[in-house]
Structure 1
Amino acid sequence: MERKPIADSGVEVTAGLDDRATRRRQSAFARRKSSAVVEESAAIVEAHTLNDADRRLAEMGYTQVYKREFSWLSTFSFALSVSGLFASVSTTFIYPYEAGGASSAVWCWLISGFGCYCIALSVAELVSAYPTSGGLYFTCKYLAPTNWVPEISWLCGWLNLIGQIAGAASTEYGCAQLLLAAVSMAGDFNGYVPTDRQTVGVMAAFTVLHGALNSLNTAALEKMTKTYVIFHIAVLFSCCVALLAMCDYKHTSSYTWTTVVNNSGWSPTGWSFLFGFLSASWTMTDYDATAHIAEEIKNPEIKAPWSIALALGFTWIGGWLFTIVLAYCSGDPTHTLKNAVDQPVAQIFYDVIGRNGGIFFTVAACFVLNFTAMTAIQAGARTIWAYSRDEMLPLSRVWYKINKKTDTPVYAVWLFATACVLINLIGLGSYIAISAIFNLTAIALDWSYCIPIICKMLYGKFERGPFHLGWASLPINIWAVCWTTFVTIIYVMPTIRPVTPQNMNYVVVLMAAVAIFAVGYWYAAGRYYYVGPRVKAQLIMGVAGEEDKAHSSGGSSDEKRDPTAVS
């Protein structure tokens, strides 16, 4: 399908604004234009010298910086590692199990997983069309109304970045919790009980380790990443077999599939049942993480979206099957929920497999979650780098720098890692506050995806890539937005009654804070310098005789082409 040229979002960004705002925007854009001309003149690239992926990137206004090392296996492994299926289910099983018992966990994962998968497919479709390290934030340049691109990109970008930081921070904290749970299990849960200081200390050590590993070159990261999928699937399969083989007392199918045990205090019981949706929604998120390494993937317009679709499909079905196994083997809910480390799955491992087996699978879950944290920091660092390329963040020139030895954004890596540690320091003073920040992850990320999805549906500017949903695109997009709206309501509700200051869900306060920050920062500073995703490359169609090879439309070999046009 022939693509239509799409104008740079920097053009006509002042349309529809009042005179004062227009003058400010024109002044800001004029100040940037002089430097933009220098950047464009210094980054003229000839189409015939580029492979398809690099040429497509140049068409979208950027030059290739990273080495494209990620293959099919490593890209799929990266996409799968983001969810951390085995570890994520192990740490979030408490929410559906506490809300409605085994049946809530089973049915809610299946239903919620479908809604999440619709979001994943919608994201994959956009990633295929616009594969850059900016992820869904960048797509606003092409999908939103031209005169609103800066504002919409700004909001989408900050939601995505804050969601990624909160998600990575929660993953690092979860790594520490699982490791210390294994230590507590070694004492039969009767001796050692982790303190907040110990948890935060171990978290900081893990974060430093993951930051150091992410400071390596892309080739090293690719080799580490592709080992994950083999380890993860092996652990998941062996754990399910061990639980089913060694569990002496399994719940009946009637109990597992039809009995709702309301441990939340909410009435009616059906409302309590809905809290079971949280497990899948927290596990199946950060769908566009793979998009943020698109500039390190070979043929990203194909591999990135297919990896997202396949990995999230595996997470949905694999997570459901693992949840069913846990539900059958969960034992007495009162006993399972009341353990020293607040990890019911660790208690299930201990009760069914024994202390040694329980320690092994708890440590394995910690290992899996370490991979998730690794990929989260890699994706987050690429996000900071991409935003800095568009000069969206303070000190963008610093975070945009690429280390000469590794060809990776080391400064961005350590900025992201530092942000994770600083957020988790809140856990020293209040676990309630840190839990609210973790709860913000899925809300912020999912709405950062819904913004471009809504723009895609409303404004009809989307030009599809190799991966597309065909006639199913619109209904899947609609359900993705509807599901996100519905589950957001559940996210902000307290999961236990009676509501006390200790169990109150303060995420709604943080949502308001994020909105105030994004809007306030925009009016205070952003609107004076930020004009949306920028043009850092000028693509020309090459020398005579190369036009056909570069898919030229027949212009002169010296003729410059709109760098954001899509061939």
Structure 2
Amino acid sequence: MDSGERRLNELGYKQELRREMTLFKCLAIAFSTMTLFTGITPLYGNSFRYAGPVGLVWGWVVVTFFTWFMGFAMAEICSSFPTTGSLYFWAAHLAGRKWGPLASWICAWLETIGLIAGISTQAYAGTQTLQNIILLSTGTNKHGGYFAPRSVFLTIYIALCLIWALLNTFALNIIALIDTVSIWWQVLGGTLIVIMLPLVAITTQPASYVFTHFETSPAITGITNPVYAIVLSWLVSQYSLYGFDAAAHLTEETKGADVNGPIAILSSIALISVFGWGYILALTFSIQDPKYLYDPMNETAGRFVPAQILFDAFQGRYESSFGAIALLIVIWGSFFFGGLSITTSAARVVYALSRDGGVPYSRLWRKIDPHFQVPANAVWISAAFAMLLGLPLLKLDIVFTAITSICTIGWVGGYAVPIFARLVIRSEDFRPGPFNLGRASRGICLVAFLWICYTCVIFLLPTQYPIRLETFNYAPVVLGITLTIIMGWWTLDARHWFKGPVREIFSVTE
């Protein structure tokens, strides 16, 4: 019997999903969920405006440092509990019989909220990239190019969610194949952009500008405090450097998951750390005129800074936007692959929670397609809620900021519960897997937990002043209402029947 399946049986679960994922395929899905471009590209312009190059460049280094603490903590727990329920399953077992049901309830819903919002962020940013590809292909903003209005934007957004759901309805080996293409697409495409962009640009910014220049934009952002500006400029990195837990969601479908799961988690962090910083440096070195990037009369209408940087480089060198369009297609592919992978992860979490009776109409969402052996109903309910999150885009651009905040808080907030439980659990009550941190475990978990708390607080803060309807960060309101409903449900009803992960296999002594 496979070591991962043996451990799954010991934890009380049957092997229902097809265990055919290799380490490379698991890594491909984890890396595709984090993705090289999808975090940096949509938020680069806003972060650059807060504090200039220094906030972006060194913010990535700082956030990467603390991300490794989260990664090591998660890898150790994954090795001990290689189950599809991943985070919420870990929380239940680590918190013990008394607190386990509440811990797993909170963790499961945070994770579900984060993943579904994650589908939305990929759909939004992917649509924005496609919007600019069409704009540059039809003549640019200066020469009458087509800039998709809100209704068309929303239609593309919904179409992406539907395509991802449809592809996830088929066999997992199709998704694994696509994600294998994804990892090469992003590694080779990322290498191409990182090397080519500074070479194509007629002029490049000096190293002193890239690594030391600090500049706020109080006239635009309304933020005058330099420390606050720096903190907000790090949001792009904090949004980009998570999602590595996707490897944990697929452990019931991965061979040797108690070993390969942790390896995939840490390897995906390593890849995104290196390539992400390279991408930021390539964009920043290649800026021609920082002020022109935000000009509403420029070729991209001042709305998408990375696209303008690419256009300026290729137009300046070759008097053609073809190269910029080609690289934008590479970036768009990253959004497509990322959304596909996050849909996979969201469906697995909904399936796992339904398997334990934690979702209304659980019997429906826990059904496995008899032919493809995937939780198809869980896929479609996840995609449906992601589409609903996009409806406010018809009226407000600030919706993306709220969805990004909800995604990040839900996702990393879900990390916090099992990490905190691992921090306080007695050593003798934790059975380590093949990958374990030994005596360093508690210290690593403490740093990881404190960093997660800091991250969640930052994403609730206002990002522009003065605060108006168009600039308000709606994440605290949406999260407040959602969490009130979830915890109210727990207090009034769910605590009487929800016991966390439900065992399906019992030993003879039990």
Q: Which moved more, 1:230-239 or 1:508-517?
A: 508-517
Superposition map of 1:245-324 within 5 A: 245-263=199-217, 264-324=221-281
Residue of structure 2 in register with 1:397 after alignment: 363
Aligned to 1:477: 445
Code of the aligned partner of 1:352? A
Identify which of 72, 75, 83 aligns with 1:132: 83
Q: What TM-score comes out, normalization by structure 2 length?
A: 0.93
Q: Is the 8 A contact 1:289 1:379 kept in 2?
A: yes
Inter-partner Cα distance in structure 1 for 2:389 and 2:472: 19
Q: Which residue of 2 aligns with 1:206?
A: 160
Give 1:219 deviation, angstroms.
2.1
Report the Cα distance in structure 1 between the residues aligned to 2:292 and 2:173, rounded to whole angstroms: 47
Residue 305 of structure 2: which of 330, 333, 344 is its match?
344
Give 2:314's aligned residue.
353
Q: Report the more deviating stretch, 486-495 or 150-159.
A: 486-495
Name the CA shift for 1:511/1:381 in 2 (closer, same or farther; >3 Å): same
Matches of 1:468 and 1:246, distance apart in 2: 46
1:170 aligned residue: 121
Query: How far does residue 229 in structure 1 lie from its aligned partner after superposition?
Result: 1.2
Aligned to 1:45: none
Is 1:439 aligned to residue 396 of structure 2? no
Instruction: State which of 493, 509, 513 in structure 1 corresponds to 2:461.
Output: 493
Question: What is the Cα-based RMSD across aligned positions, in Å?
Answer: 1.6
Aligned AA (1:213): L
Q: How far, CA to CA, are the matches of 1:57 and 1:444 in structure 2?
A: 26
User: Which of residues 171, 177, 181 is equivalent to 1:223?
Assistant: 177
- From 33, 42, 55, the equivalent of 2:6 is 55
Deviation larger for 125-134 or 92-101: 92-101
1:413 aligns with 2:364: no
CA distance in 2 between counterparts of 1:215 and 1:422 reads 20
CA distance in 2, matches of 1:434, 1:281: 16
Q: Are positions 1:522 and 2:496 aligned together? A: no
Pick from 116, 141, 146: which aligns with 1:189? 141
How far 1:490 sits from its partner (Å)?
Answer: 2.1
Rg larger in structure: 1
Which residue in 1 is equivalent to 2:21? 70
- The answer as to 2:42 corresponding to 1:91 is yes
2:74 alignment partner, one of 104, 115, 123: 123
Q: 1-side partners of 2:292 and 2:208: how far apart?
A: 21
Name the residue aligned to 2:501. Answer: 533
Provide the C-alpha distance between the structure 1 equivalents of 2:286 and 2:26, rounded to a whole number of angstroms. 34
1:561 shift after superposition: 4.3
- Whether 2:192 is the aligned partner of 1:235: answer no
1:434, distance to aligned residue in structure 2 (A)? 4.7
SS in 1 for 2:204: coil
Give 2:318's aligned residue: none
* Contiguous gaps of at least 5 residues in structure 2: 316-320
Match among 102, 105, 108 for residue 154 of structure 1: 105
TM-superposition CA deviations, 1:25-56 (whole Å, max 9, x none) = xxxxxxxxxxxxxxxxxxxxxxxxx4322221
| Identity, % of aligned positions | 26
String of CA shifts for 1:114-171, please: whole Å, max 9, x gaps: 1222212211221111011101100122210321211111111111101111111111
- TM-superposed CA distance for 1:394, in Å, is 0.7
Q: Secondary structure at the match of 2:52?
A: helix
State yes or no: 1:379 paired with 2:345.
yes
Q: Secondary structure at the match of 1:437?
A: helix
Cα distance in 1 for partners of 2:485, 2:399 equals 18
Deviates most, 433-442 or 317-326: 433-442
AA at the equivalent of 1:343: F
How far the C-alpha of 1:237 sits from its partner, in A, is 0.6
5+ unaligned residues in a row in structure 1: which ranges?
1-49, 540-559, 563-567
Distance 1:231 1:302 in 2: 26
Q: Which amino acid aligns with 2:464?
A: I
Distance in 2 (CA, whole Å) between partners of 1:352 and 1:109 is: 24
1:68-91 Cα distance to aligned partner (Å, 9 max, x none): 121121111111101111232222
Q: Letter of the 2:35 partner, please give it.
A: G
* 1:93–1:279 contact (8 Å) kept in structure 2: yes
Q: Deviations over 1:462-506 (max 9, x none)?
A: 222112223332222111111122232321222233333211222
Structure 1: how far apart are the matches of 2:214 and 2:509?
A: 62
> What's the TM-score once normalised by structure 1's chain length?
0.84
Residues 204 and 473 (structure 1), Cα distance of their counterparts in 2 relative to 1, 3 Å cut: same
